[in-house]
Amino acid sequence: MHDPGADLLICYMPQYRTRKGRMMILLNPKKFGWEFSDKRSDEIMRKTIDFFERKGRGETKKDDHERTWYQDFLDFQKEVGAFSTLLTPSAYALDADSRWDTWRNCAFNEITAFYGLNYWYTWQVSILGLGPIWMGGNEAVKKRTAELLRDGGIFAFGLSEKEHGADLYSTEMALKPLGDGKYLANGRKYYIGNANEAALVSTFGKMTDTGDYVFFVVGDRNPKFEVVKNVVNSQNFVAEYALTDYPITDAEILTMGRDAWDSALNTVNVGKFNLGWASIGICTHAYFEAIDHASHRFLYKHYVIDFTHIKQLFVDAYTRLVAMKLFSLRAIDYMRSASPEDRRYLLYNPMVKMKVTTQGEEVINLLWDVIAAKGFEKDMYFEQAARDIRALPKLEGTVHVNMALIIKFMPNYFFNPGQFPEIGQRMDAADDEFLFDQGPTKGLGKIQFHDYNIAYGSVDLPNVNVFKEQIEVLKELLLQAPPSDAQIDDIDFLLILGELFTLVGYGQLIIENSKIYDVSREMLDQIFDFMVRDFSKFALQLYSKTSSTQVQMDLALRMIRKPVADQARFEKVLAEAYSLEGQYTWSD
């Protein structure tokens, strides 16, 4: 075991505490620290951890390499009632503990991805498949769905098509009315997870007579439902399926018209939130592997973790990972507290999907530079982490799609704040009913946010202060040299501008949650060390765009700043990052 030396004697496990309890900021299955208001939630999480620990790394890796369908995991979740308890709203619950609770669902997200994205995926796809059902008005289907969940059923979301992706306007799935509440469905769907075994597949299409949108459910046991093929090389089954004169009645219709359109988009609002949490789970496990490898690797008369550049890589990876989780935990609070009067979650939600997942890629890149060739070895978790982390920013819409959504909130965020009561931490055992009654998907540009200066003004730290100055220059650019019509049509230009805006909201929620989790001043300022650098990076990209005007270029140069160095602060955060050495190893 490597002794980091006297300069690291201050090292400690990162016991970031909430005002209520003891939850550690990063998941360690051997010291599970998520807190719940009820015993049943804790029981499900601990049994899930136990399932994967007993299965072990060797068997899990073998299943991954051989692309084995994860029936053992599905049998396990049926036995413990995991999906049923976690994914059945209380109005349709068949037991006292069932509810849709985003707090505990995110714990399950993190745990399943920690052991393998394939296991998370079947859960995630079920969430998407359930969205149109719980949002629809078909009470009989809802009651049937609760029974299917109790019986261990999984679900699928039939939205995208081979030629059109998730372009809802162009969907070719057609529902033809026959009269007397009967219809025939014809068409194909593509890239549909779980479709090989789904109890119900929520399918999006259009009416042939009116062109109205429609959501209906089908089952893969019907002979008119053809699973064409698995389109991926994976444990997952991501299907192309075809409906050929598939009989539908009013009893299978979930929604029609605008309601069907809204339920499609609102389902993605619920489901996309999970992707950032999968990135957090993957990166956390990869971090444990990387720190253990580096701390025991002796090269050129030094342990790897003693090299200066390795210290920087670990501090950057660790602070980015902690920031990912701080932001995502805080976003839960806004998600669970949403209402028709408070839709701030519609900004923070796609940021968990887009910003957290791209940060996950960055964390894996940093750790890969530490462990180098070890990251390719077939027995390492890291090998699949490096592969799977790339998928998450590309599921449920690309980064560009999510950024186009985020940009709509920028004017009100910066220049037209609203008044909202302060939202506290939401760990309570409540049913998140609003998620299935989000209402119309229009009017995003009218949504207001609380003044971000409240959070930033509450902190006086060197790098946070530099970041505040960068924000002010960004606002100056938006007022003095806003994008032209041509620049607005250039998605790459907007993407850069959106990255700058996203960093502001990212930092805001991190600051808010740093108080809830009692994060040290040193840790928070070191987080803003990379935030300042990232802001400067995107400012340079804005400067370098061929379409940037002289005024925009001048302002972009003013955004480029260097973070404030503090060796004592760096060493304290480094000690915290290195304290995870030997804390978790997946048994064989």
Q: How many CA atoms lie within 13 A of 172 on its CB side?
A: 12
Q: How many CA atoms lie within 13 A of 124 on its CB side?
A: 31
Is residue 130 located within the same domain as residue 193?
A: no
Is residue 145 located within the same domain as residue 217?
A: no
402 pLDDT more than 90: no
Which amino acid is it at 295? Answer: S
The model's pLDDT over 222-276, given as tens digits with 9 standing for 90+, comes to 899 999 999 999 999 999 999 999 999 999 999 999 999 999 999 999 998 899 9
Is residue 63 located within the same domain as residue 182?
A: no
Two tokens at 180?
């007397």
20 pLDDT more than 70: no
Of residues 445 and 217, the one with the higher pLDDT is: 217
The residue among 258, 289, 306 that closes a domain is: 258
The residue among 113, 128, 153 that closes a domain is: 153
Q: Measured in whole angstroms, how far is the alpha carbon of residue 461 from the centre of its chain?
A: 29
The residue among 130, 153, 176 that closes a domain is: 153
Is residue 286 located within the same domain as residue 337?
A: yes
Q: What DSSP assignment string belongs to 249-271?
A: EGGGEEEETHHHHHHHHHHHHHH
The model's pLDDT over 500-533, given as tens digits with 9 standing for 90+, comes to 999 999 999 999 999 999 999 999 999 999 999 9
The CATH number of the domain holding residue 566 is 1.20.140.10
**Contact 249/325 with Cβ under 8 angstroms?**
no
The CATH number of the domain holding residue 200 is 2.40.110.10
451 found inside a domain: yes
Collapsing DSSP to helix, strand or coil, 351 comes out as: helix
CA distances from residue 351 to 166, 283, 364, 488, 500 in whole angstroms, order as listed: 19, 17, 19, 20, 12
Query: pTM for the full model?
Result: 0.94
The CATH number of the domain holding residue 91 is 1.10.540
Is residue 516 located within the same domain as residue 543?
A: yes
Beta strands 200-207 and 155-158 are parallel
Is residue 120 located within the same domain as residue 167?
A: no
Q: Structurally, how many domains does the chain consist of? A: 3
90 found inside a domain: yes
Is residue 216 located within the same domain as residue 364?
A: no
359 found inside a domain: yes
581 pLDDT more than 90: yes
**Contact 429/36 with Cβ under 8 angstroms?**
yes
16 pLDDT more than 50: no
DSSP single-letter state for residue 199: S
Is residue 73 located within the same domain as residue 196?
A: no
Q: What's the confidence (pLDDT) of residue 4?
A: 37
293 found inside a domain: yes
Q: CA 409, CA 280: separation in Å to the nearest integer?
A: 25
Q: CA 145, CA 525: separation in Å to the nearest integer?
A: 48
225 found inside a domain: yes
Q: What DSSP assignment string belongs to 24-73?
A: -SS--GGG-----SSHHHHHHHHHHHHHHHHHHHHHHHHHHHTT---HHH
CA distances from residue 549 to 374, 387, 544 in whole angstroms, order as listed: 46, 39, 10
What letters, b where the CB count within 10 A reaches 16 and e where it falls short, cover 120-157?
A: bbbbbbbbbbbbbbbbbebeebbebbbebbbebbbbbb
Q: CA 400, CA 478: separation in Å to the nearest integer?
A: 20
425 found inside a domain: no
Is residue 34 located within the same domain as residue 143?
A: yes
Strand partners, 192: 239
The model's pLDDT over 291-342, given as tens digits with 9 standing for 90+, comes to 999 888 777 778 778 889 999 999 999 999 999 999 999 999 999 999 999 9
CA distances from residue 145 to 75, 78, 553 in whole angstroms, order as listed: 18, 14, 56
Expressed as residue numbers, the domain containing 457 is: 262-419+439-578
Is residue 91 located within the same domain as residue 28?
A: yes
pLDDT band at 469 (very low <50, low <70, confident <90, very high): very high
Consecutive H or E run containing 299: strand 298-299
The model's pLDDT over 75-92, given as tens digits with 9 standing for 90+, comes to 999 999 999 999 999 999
428 found inside a domain: no
pLDDT band at 6 (very low <50, low <70, confident <90, very high): very low
Is residue 239 located within the same domain as residue 371?
A: no
Two tokens at 95?
């037991």
442 pLDDT more than 70: yes
Is residue 175 located within the same domain as residue 295?
A: no
The model's pLDDT over 98-132, given as tens digits with 9 standing for 90+, comes to 999 999 999 999 999 999 999 999 999 999 999 99
Q: CA 166, CA 190: separation in Å to the nearest integer?
A: 10
Average pLDDT across the chain, whole number: 92
